[in-house]
């Protein structure tokens, strides 16, 4: 049974009924997760109500209508779990996220009937034996997992000519604002699903830009926490030194709430207000700008709002900016090989692929389905390298982390006594192009990603109907302060907008 046949069976809705349900549900699903939790706490909505509404919306928008293709698989137990959450609430034993329907990226282990595949046909029969620790924390807090989101296959670490949001198992995810435009990656499905409100919140993962870019380019909030705040266990890996899961949400307060649960950090409960910007010092990372004059103009308006709220904003030049890129890519290839081999070696007997070498051979045997548009040169390059004791790896790791961190972003933050670095998160979304691959033209998540620092993107504005975000980047373990700054900015610049599912900018 397909995931969408499952929706029809669960809801028994014909297309007309589905459209009517979507219309009724919009006023609820367009609220952020915090507001939805309040409705459930007040008895105005049940978790079962919300799950039915979201399943109907997935049916109408992901399979039908604009065909976003953001959801790779649905949880057949979602309705039963929602009913259980409603009973737990009535009995006073449900957590802080009681009954909240969420979607989780398909490279994160969720035990049960859904696969964990990283979008690859090679892992279409891989069912995790146990939940990732971050999933355990979310479930303990009371979430209802609606399903898994599509992603760029192998979290965009298969080829330099890949199309963000495309996977051999899930197909192409589309940007809900303009459908022929990229959703960015690798957390493409999580970003697009959040923008279209296919769930109350989504979870993504990032190695270098894979939360920040899809959140920004789809017009929502995305938080990449300090590496190590959230356990990496149970996530199909790229890099032990850079990987992190994080929330993609409708608002910063939602991101703060979800991150607090995922990272078990009680200090994230503090509320923010625009007065929190008064006296703060921000450094404009000009080296990450200049790729689009209209984006710079939109960013200048955001800077003006920060100044009007009492913040001091100065230009900074980050030392050694960009000098870490070659070393970073080399260390990622080393860490990917080591991490993936370990992960695959622990999968059960149903999974024939037990190593990176096995994966490469599988892709070659099934190239018509797996590689119709781009190849696997990144996998081949990683597999040709040695282990993590290699001098080349150790040298690359030390170099990348020092140049990007202590001799880079952190030096700017400390020398200029900054509360955060700021820069545009993204260029406007480019057209999806399976022949040539992605056409990134601006935005730089590497400033935070390479040294493992926290970053958050908040909607900043639009250019030709395409969302733009602003990034706030802090030093290690400054996540709580960074969230407060971002939430304060959100209060003075509310740039959220529901997508209209235009076929193209011209239409």
Q: How far is CA 287 from CA 159, 182, 308, 446, in A?
A: 27, 24, 24, 12
Q: How confident is the model at residue 267 (pLDDT cuts 50, 70, 90)?
A: confident
- Please determine, for residue 20, whether its predicted confidence score (pLDDT) is greater than 80: no
- Please determine, for residue 67, whether its predicted confidence score (pLDDT) is greater than 60: yes
Residue of 46, 152, 186, 239 with catalytic role:
186
pLDDT, the chain, mean:
94
Which pLDDT does position 300 carry in this prediction?
A: 98
Which pLDDT does position 26 carry in this prediction?
A: 72
Q: How confident is the model at residue 11 (pLDDT cuts 50, 70, 90)?
A: very low
Q: How far is CA 29 from CA 24, 89, 196, in A?
A: 10, 20, 9
d(CA 379, CA 99): 40
* Lowest mean pLDDT across 25-29, 142-146, 393-397, 452-456: 25-29
- Please determine, for residue 211, whether its predicted confidence score (pLDDT) is greater than 80: yes
Which pLDDT does position 2 carry in this prediction?
A: 45
Residue 203: phi and psi, rounded to 5, are -120, 130
Q: What tokens does 76 get?
A: 């057949």
Residue of 56, 105, 168, 239 with catalytic role:
105
Which pLDDT does position 6 carry in this prediction?
A: 44
- Please determine, for residue 200, whether its predicted confidence score (pLDDT) is greater than 50: yes
Q: Is 152 a catalytic residue?
A: no
Q: Is 23 a catalytic residue?
A: no
Q: How far is CA 481 from CA 109, 142, 415, 455, in A?
A: 30, 26, 18, 11
Which pLDDT does position 25 carry in this prediction?
A: 64
Residue 197 Ramachandran class (φ > 0 left, ψ -120 to 50 alpha, else beta): left
Q: Which residues of 360-373 are buried (b: 16+ CB within 10 A; e: fewer)?
A: bebbeeeeeebbeb
Which residue has 């081949």 as its token pair? 380
Output DSSP code: residue 432: P
Q: How confident is the model at residue 17 (pLDDT cuts 50, 70, 90)?
A: very low
d(CA 290, CA 288): 7
Q: Where are the extended beta strands (E) located within 57-165? A: 71-74, 101-105, 144-149
d(CA 386, CA 383): 8
Q: Report the sign of the C-alpha dihedral through residues 369, 374, 379, 385, in that order.
A: positive
Share of the chain above pLDDT 70, in %: 95
Closest by CA to 29, choosing from 149, 197, 257, 190, is 197
Q: Report the sign of the C-alpha dihedral through residues 187, 190, 191, 192, in that order.
A: positive
Q: Is 117 a catalytic residue?
A: no
- Please determine, for residue 158, whether its predicted confidence score (pLDDT) is greater than 50: yes
pLDDT average, residue stretch 488-504: 96
Which pLDDT does position 18 carry in this prediction?
A: 44
Number of C-beta neighbours around residue 315 at 10 A? 9
Which pLDDT does position 10 carry in this prediction?
A: 46
Judge whether 486 and 458 are in contact, CB under 8 Å. Answer: yes
Residue of 210, 239, 241, 446 with catalytic role:
210
Looking from the CA of 270 toward its CB, the CA atoms found within 13 Å total: 16
């Amino acid at each position: 049974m397909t995931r969408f046949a499952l929706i029809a069976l669960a809801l028994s809705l014909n297309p007309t009924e589905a459209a009517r349900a979507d219309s009724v549900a919009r006023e609820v699903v367009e609220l952020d997760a915090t507001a939805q939790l309040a409705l459930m706490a007040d008895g105005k909505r049940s978790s079962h109500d919300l799950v039915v509404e979201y399943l109907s919306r997935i049916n109408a928008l992901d399979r039908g209508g604009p065909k976003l293709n953001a959801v790779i698989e649905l949880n057949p137990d979602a309705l039963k779990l929602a009913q259980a959450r409603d009973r737990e609430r009535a009995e006073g034993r449900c957590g802080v996220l009681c009954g909240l329907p969420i979607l989780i990226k398909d490279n994160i282990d969720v035990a049960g009937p859904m696969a964990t595949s990283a979008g690859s046909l090679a892992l279409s029969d891989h069912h995790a034996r146990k939940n990732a620790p971050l999933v355990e924390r979310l479930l303990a807090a009371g979430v209802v997992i609606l399903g898994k989101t599509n992603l760029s296959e192998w979290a965009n670490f298969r080829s330099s000519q890949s199309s963000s949001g495309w996977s051999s198992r899930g197909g192409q995810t589309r940007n809900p604002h303009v459908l022929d435009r990229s959703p960015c990656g690798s957390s493409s499905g999580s970003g697009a699903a959040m923008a279209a409100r296919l769930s109350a919140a989504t979870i993504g993962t990032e190695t270098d830009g894979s939360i920040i870019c899809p959140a920004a380019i789809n017009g929502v909030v995305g938080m990449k926490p300090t590496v190590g705040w959230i356990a990496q266990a149970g996530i199909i890996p790229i890099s032990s030194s850079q990987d992190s899961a994080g929330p993609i949400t409708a608002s910063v307060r939602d991101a703060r709430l979800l991150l607090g649960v995922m990272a078990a950090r009680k200090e994230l409960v503090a509320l923010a207000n625009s007065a929190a910007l008064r006296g703060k010092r921000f450094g404009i990372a000009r080296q990450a700008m200049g790729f689009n004059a209209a984006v710079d103009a939109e960013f200048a308006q955001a800077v003006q709002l920060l100044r009007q709220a009492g913040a001091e904003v100065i230009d900074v030049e980050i030392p050694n900016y960009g000098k870490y890129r070659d070393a970073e890519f080399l260390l990622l290839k080393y860490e990917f090989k080591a991490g993936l081999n370990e992960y695959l070696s622990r999968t059960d007997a149903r999974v024939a692929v037990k190593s990176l070498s096995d994966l490469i051979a599988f892709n070659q045997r099934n190239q018509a389905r797996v590689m119709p548009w781009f190849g696997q040169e990144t996998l081949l390059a990683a597999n040709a390298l040695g282990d993590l004791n290699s001098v080349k790896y150790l040298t690359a790791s030390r170099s990348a982390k020092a140049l990007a961190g202590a001799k880079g972003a952190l030096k700017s933050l400390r020398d200029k006594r900054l509360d955060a670095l700021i820069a545009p998160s993204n260029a406007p979304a480019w057209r999806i192009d399976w022949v040539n691959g992605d056409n990134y033209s601006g935005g730089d998540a590497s400033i935070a990603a390479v040294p493992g620092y926290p970053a958050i993107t908040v909607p900043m504005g639009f250019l030709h109907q395409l969302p733009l975000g602003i990034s706030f980047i802090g030093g290690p373990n400054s996540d709580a302060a960074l969230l407060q700054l971002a939430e304060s900015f959100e209060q003075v610049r509310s740039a959220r907008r529901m997508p209209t599912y235009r076929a193209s900018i011209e239409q």
